[in-house]
Structure 1
Amino acid sequence: MTAARALLVAALLAVCVIAGAGMFADFGKLRIAFEQFSLQRIVVACSLVLGNYALRIVRFRYYLGRLEIVVSRTEAALVFIAGLLFTVTPGKMGEVVKGLILKKRRGASATVVASSVVAERFTDVVGLLLVAALGIWQHGAYRELFWGVCGLCGLFLASVVHPRLVPSLVAWAERRLPQTKLVRVFAGIARAHEVLRKLCSVKSLSVGVFLAAAAWLLEAVAFRVLLDGLGAAGDFGPAVVTYAMATLFGAVSMLPGGVGSTEAVMVVLLITPEFGFNLDRAGAVLATLLIRLCTLWFGVGLGALAWLALFRGRLSVESDKLTS
């Protein structure tokens, strides 16, 4: 998929989301609510989101350094942000693209970079869980999702840190499926496990989770800034839970960028009386559209600029041919 097609997919999804939101909340009421909203708050929210990206870029470069892939701060930032362009494309292309760019520019192993990406996503989820924990005990909504994701994270971590579990499973599979192509796949899995074990050491995991939690907390603050601009009641706790759980739900839904699932959960929580936001449908939908503008679509736009910087203004470069 080219960057131009990624932008087209993003534009089509944005139109669908806005159309659905308008039908749910009434376009007229949305327009009135938006006219009363201070656009300066969007600038503040986007600034906080930039802080999120900065922290995640630090983690991205830290993990690459742990894997002996040396990149400059500028290159790490451009590669990371370029991946955001593909956030809303099918198949988690944003994560794949980062690996392909590094393979082309630095000769990095695709398996090694992919393992780094898995470690990033894992620490993102744990970081979001920590952010959600700041207010989850005050509100019962989505506790089942919270504990379910906690359990999955525990199982994943146990499978990674156990020194023999994955190698034993790979060896067992190789004995029963000796085909050449599958053997190469199993070898890749074994290599990925070695890399993940390194990135899930106490030190590496602690650094990754700390940076992730701080990064997602900044976006939760941005959400509260936007809510205050719409006259929403309540304190920081409900906003943290709403943002973190909606983002987690979008992640586990496996939809591109969580589009549709994240918005739906966020709107439902914003109009839930127990959370005390006191927003009507128009206010809840506008708050959701604004935070997604700042955290998702803003990133897609930055990704396009980073892609142009990396590939000298060519949006037509095929993302799946970067290795050629």
Structure 2
Amino acid sequence: MKLANLISKAIIMFSVCMVLYLMFIFWGDYQSIKNIICQIHFHEYFLAILASLCGILIRIIKWDFMIKQLEIRIPKTESSHVFLFGLGFSITPGRIGELIKSYILFRKHNVDVRVSAPVIVVDHLTNFISLSLIVTSGIGYIALGAKSASIIIGVFLLSIFVLQKKTLIMPLIKKITSVGKLTKFQLTLSKLYRSSHSLLRVWPLIVTIVLTLIGCIFEAVPLWIFIKALDLSLSYRDILFVLSTGTIAGTLSMFPGGIGVADTSVIGLLMQLDIPKSMAVSISLLERLIVVWLGVLIGLITVISLKSRYLASNNNDNS
């Protein structure tokens, strides 16, 4: 895994995002947005940043809990560093950069990538389930898509139920991989499934979903602070619904970090809730900067500061 390539991809995505944000700013009226941003006081920005940091902390706790379900025992400080490495590269295309977490666990603790990689997948799966729960609970405010959201979450829950049936899945894997060239994938698929099964058991699944919901609550606080600072009338439940819907749209788009799609969705939903265009653009972009890009920045600072500790090159590696 070449660190330079990941960093260059992250920089490219950051540049694309900044260009997109400039387009949003000019579309929303630069002067109006500038005035709106200046209306928000310093202590309100501080509280918004603090809430975002709390959200990141919750996600670190969730990550640490999940790897412990796979008997991956590492110091909490190191676990936090590994998570932040992944956070720094969460804006790479396809979020492929997050696999750096599995790479570090392999290098530092000889943890098979086939064991740790499902943590990343299940992490995003529980994010999607939690966001869908929030969206379906807020459908009374914006009814469009209620049926679709309910069907999607139902399919996910049914899939999880089926995946928990080891007596069904393991023989199926063996049967599928017993033909021709597929036999070489049998061990890999078996290890991937065993790790996923451990994470999708009822208790770990409940804990990770609850932690995700708590994280979502913290991540919605910055937008709530900005709305209150500007004397806008919008409930916290509305805010949770808007952000969750935007995040789901961004996730389904497969764009890194939901760039463009999540932003547009949030702005559009805020305008549907009678927030003026300039204000919708202003508070949406501020929220994204503080919640998404602050996390990416912290992650990249961690990478730059600790790369020699976790990614030092050796004779067999081209990190």
- TM-score relative to the length of structure 2: 0.90
1:10-159 to 2 correspondences below 5 Å: 10-159=13-162
Q: Which amino acid in 1 is paired with 2:55?
A: N
Residue 166 of structure 2 aligns to a residue in which SS? coil
Q: Which runs of 5+ in 1 are unaligned?
A: none
Match of 1:290 among 286, 293, 307: 286
Aligned sequence identity (%): 22
Q: Report the Cα offset of residue 167 of structure 1.
A: 2.5
Between the aligned partners of 1:10 and 1:317, the Cα distance in structure 2 is 25
Residue 114 of structure 2 aligns to a residue in which SS? helix
Which stretch of structure 1 is more off in the superposition, 104-113 or 38-47? 38-47
CA contact (8 A) 1:100 1:323 kept: no
Residue-by-residue CA offset, 1:91-134 (whole Å, 9 max, x unaligned): 21242111111111111110111111122112212222333344
Between the aligned partners of 1:109 and 1:296, the Cα distance in structure 2 is 30
Q: Report the Cα offset of residue 293 of structure 1.
A: 0.3
Q: Report the Cα offset of residue 171 of structure 1.
A: 2.6
Between the aligned partners of 1:230 and 1:197, the Cα distance in structure 2 is 47
Between the aligned partners of 1:136 and 1:317, the Cα distance in structure 2 is 49
CA contact (8 A) 2:44 2:226 kept: yes
TM-aligned CA distance change 1:287 to 1:313, over 3 Å: farther
Between the aligned partners of 1:57 and 1:253, the Cα distance in structure 2 is 25
Q: Report the Cα offset of residue 6 of structure 1.
A: 3.9
Instruction: Name the structure 2 match of 1:246.
Output: 246
Residue 177 of structure 2 aligns to a residue in which SS? helix
CA contact (8 A) 1:134 1:240 kept: no
Residue-by-residue CA offset, 1:12-58 (whole Å, 9 max, x unaligned): 12222212202421222222222222243222122111111111111
Q: Report the Cα offset of residue 69 of structure 1.
A: 1.0
1:163-178 to 2 correspondences below 5 Å: 163-176=166-179, 178=180
Between the aligned partners of 1:145 and 1:128, the Cα distance in structure 2 is 14
Between the aligned partners of 1:41 and 1:322, the Cα distance in structure 2 is 46
Residue 269 of structure 1 aligns to a residue in which SS? helix
TM-aligned CA distance change 1:146 to 1:120, over 3 Å: same
TM-aligned CA distance change 1:10 to 1:51, over 3 Å: same
TM-aligned CA distance change 1:317 to 1:300, over 3 Å: farther
CA contact (8 A) 1:250 1:258 kept: yes
- TM-score relative to the length of structure 1: 0.88
Residue 137 of structure 1 aligns to a residue in which SS? coil
Between the aligned partners of 1:159 and 1:253, the Cα distance in structure 2 is 26
CA contact (8 A) 2:103 2:113 kept: yes
Residue-by-residue CA offset, 1:43-78 (whole Å, 9 max, x unaligned): 212211111111111121112112111111111111
CA contact (8 A) 1:246 1:266 kept: yes
**Aligned pair count?**
314
Q: Which amino acid in 1 is paired with 2:233?
A: A
Q: What RMSD over aligned residues (CA atoms) do the two structures have, in Å?
A: 2.4
